[in-house]
Structure 1
């Protein structure tokens, strides 16, 4: 739902069908999963509980919901079929919010929640609870005859975490505004027991982002404490190159077991990356750059660049290749940089503005050569192409820096003395 679109009341979502992009029904919505937050922030909607044809209930993240309209939900088509398990920081909106007795902040009057409205945040895929539809009165006849009204989420008390509460919920909530690197820094300095508790309370995507920023020992420790199916989910949510690096630290038996539990496409990408030497372009690259066909337009390219889950380095350029447009691709034709996309009309074909002058990197290119290549041409990302001319992936400057810095650089408290200081 685009920014500014009408809000959706969750009672209208109960039982609606969920379709993939091809129009095939995946299942039906049975509930919504929300995460409570500290203080005056509205609960965040993490995803939907969907009942599939086999009557199994699975979790569908909101990041994979592309449309909520006309009595249906549209997904990206990528659905994890593992059974939904509610986590400590999560609340079921239909099951736990509706019919709940709460209080109006202004009058301290007790009301009953009849419905909850959710709305998508501008320019993002995140969803939050927007309003509550409540009825005044206390049960029985009064409850049926009481005045009904729609109020802002901030006008009701009883849905936020208490500041003085204990357990992982509050700590996870306080981490929400932090960047993954800062959360990783905080986790690293917790006790091993507390670190695992907090990591277990994070949702899959957030934990994946944080794991990518932790030292290898912490990564292995946390992954080893998760249930195997959850560990596989988190590995799927990680960038393939980071997942490959983490799996390479595990015993062979554990590595194969987790790869078997991962979705076949994700596991194939990780296996491919693990086949290259670590300090080469193939070992450093990600298999998920932005790939477009020659007949795509500048408008198509900008729509892909705007995706919020892309790193700045990957969003800085698109790679033009003949079909297929997922790595490994058909013939690599060249690169179109973000600045060029901003200068040309939206209807321009990317094939007409492609930069084919720079020779791409072979997968066996050693790290020092990759570093020199990026520095010489002032690039934040570079294509990796095999002998047949197919695009295998892209090496980004952040992955290069990870291997140039000292091995223990993630364990350094860069907020302390001698590190980065933030002025007023």
Structure 2
């Protein structure tokens, strides 16, 4: 861990207020959700259990937490108000870790866990359990006798999974080390029953990433076996274009029911994509490119490009548009490529750097023309603009490749003797 990364003891988070980006209080922290992992790796913190005004307890993913400081938690984006339901692979830190009797690895001495410290990984939004505050001797937290000490997570046994075993919990923990593509490949080769069990045990964001890499039949099977509210959560976590592709494979009645359960803003993006023909720029595009106003600076643009959850194709350029800056935007002014951002001072306005020579694609541009456009101009992403000049989205090269490769390309073993080697995180 990097020394400058703040460490937070979970007892200090209990009852802390949670605020949205506008400064309005959402609720208060009641617990943290963690997942045990194999291979001696520290438990990963998945999110917070937040009690809202109605006393309903909801789940807030750590990927939505932008700040934990000064006795408050700041979240970004819309909070999902569906009731929290603990899954078999999840552990409640306050409810299940504290007062737990465990052993020190070095001495085999029994100790009681009084508190747990969590820390954010450098340059990522992932959080892990970092240290344990324990008391030696027998008795729970209310017993005051016995030496107390803070130890590394690796100094305590009982907070990791054994490598053997066939439970979904073990497979999920093992899959955490893999890229979504590799997890999808492994899931595809499991039995139907096992595939659904393991997929259901993944958290929403992870399952969304994996579904985007699975063949359509597997996607439909898995989403159809999830509870409808859970399925809607996963669809919200998917890229809008991938969610639209999946929903287009479902019966109309099922599609409409899931869209009705999704957050209105997410459902609106997906409905818009479903209105276009599949093999057109409108049907291929994502509705979430990087959009900046003309008065944004190079520094603003680079901050957006650095966001960890952006694909390389979407991070390769920003699109400059007049307000509103969410698709469909105001008037599209042009594109600024990442290389150009690196060549100019941070205070430079992006409006002075736009490449306005390239004619954007219209939403009804057919796939062959989209492919030729990207190839001719050496682009990894292209803007899609409607008749009024508003930016609707962007077509990325990976989405084009999905439609150019054979239908069964996802079923190819990428790790055979002649395939692509394993890639680390």
Provide TM-score, normalisation by structure 1: 0.97
The answer to whether the 8 A contact 2:38-2:174 is kept is yes
1:166: how far off? Answer: 3.2
**Separation in 1, partners of 2:118, 2:140:** 28
**Separation in 2, partners of 1:3, 1:74:** 22
**Separation in 1, partners of 2:376, 2:142:** 75
Provide, for residues 100-152 of structure 1, a one-character-per-residue CA deviation record: whole Å limited to 9, x for no partner.
Answer: 01111111111000000001000010000011000000017994210000011
Cα gap change, 1:141 to 1:28, in 2 (>3 Å): closer
**Separation in 2, partners of 1:237, 1:200:** 15
Report SS of the residue matched to 2:335: strand
1:5: how far off? Answer: 3.2
Cα gap change, 1:354 to 1:418, in 2 (>3 Å): same
Q: Does 1:95 align with 2:59?
A: no
1:344: how far off? Answer: 1.1
Counterpart in 1 of 2:364? 364
Report SS of the residue matched to 1:130: strand
1:203: how far off? Answer: 0.4
Q: Does 1:373 align with 2:373?
A: yes
Provide, for residues 250-292 of structure 1, a one-character-per-residue CA deviation record: whole Å limited to 9, x for no partner.
Answer: 0000000000000000000000000000000000000000101
- Structure 1 unaligned regions, length at least 5: none
- Structure 2 unaligned regions, length at least 5: none
Report SS of the residue matched to 1:133: strand
**Separation in 1, partners of 2:157, 2:423:** 35
Q: Does 1:180 align with 2:180?
A: yes
1:232: how far off? Answer: 0.3
Provide, for residues 328-376 of structure 1, a one-character-per-residue CA deviation record: whole Å limited to 9, x for no partner.
Answer: 0000011111111111111111111111110100000000000000000
The answer to whether the 8 A contact 1:36-1:90 is kept is yes
**Separation in 2, partners of 1:141, 1:411:** 52
Provide TM-score, normalisation by structure 2: 0.97
Provide, for residues 152-191 of structure 1, a one-character-per-residue CA deviation record: whole Å limited to 9, x for no partner.
Answer: 1011110001112331011111111111111101100000
Root mean square deviation of aligned Cα:
1.9
The answer to whether the 8 A contact 2:14-2:31 is kept is yes
1:295-314 map, 5 Å:
295-314=295-314
Of 209-218 and 139-148, deviating more is 139-148
Provide, for residues 206-238 of structure 1, a one-character-per-residue CA deviation record: whole Å limited to 9, x for no partner.
Answer: 000100111100000000000000000000000
1:3: how far off? Answer: 7.8
The answer to whether the 8 A contact 2:289-2:318 is kept is yes
Provide, for residues 288-344 of structure 1, a one-character-per-residue CA deviation record: whole Å limited to 9, x for no partner.
Answer: 001011111111111111111111100111111001110000000111111111111
Report SS of the residue matched to 1:161: coil
**Separation in 2, partners of 1:141, 1:196:** 40
**Separation in 2, partners of 1:178, 1:242:** 21
**Separation in 1, partners of 2:6, 2:336:** 37
Cα gap change, 1:140 to 1:336, in 2 (>3 Å): closer
**Separation in 2, partners of 1:165, 1:187:** 17
**Separation in 2, partners of 1:195, 1:294:** 47
Cα gap change, 1:364 to 1:53, in 2 (>3 Å): same
The answer to whether the 8 A contact 2:322-2:332 is kept is yes
1:414: how far off? Answer: 2.6
The answer to whether the 8 A contact 1:3-1:122 is kept is no
The answer to whether the 8 A contact 2:17-2:26 is kept is yes
Cα gap change, 1:42 to 1:27, in 2 (>3 Å): same
**Separation in 1, partners of 2:328, 2:360:** 14
**Separation in 2, partners of 1:422, 1:69:** 35
Provide, for residues 7-45 of structure 1, a one-character-per-residue CA deviation record: whole Å limited to 9, x for no partner.
Answer: 110000000000011111000000000010002110010
The answer to whether the 8 A contact 2:374-2:381 is kept is yes
Cα gap change, 1:311 to 1:3, in 2 (>3 Å): farther
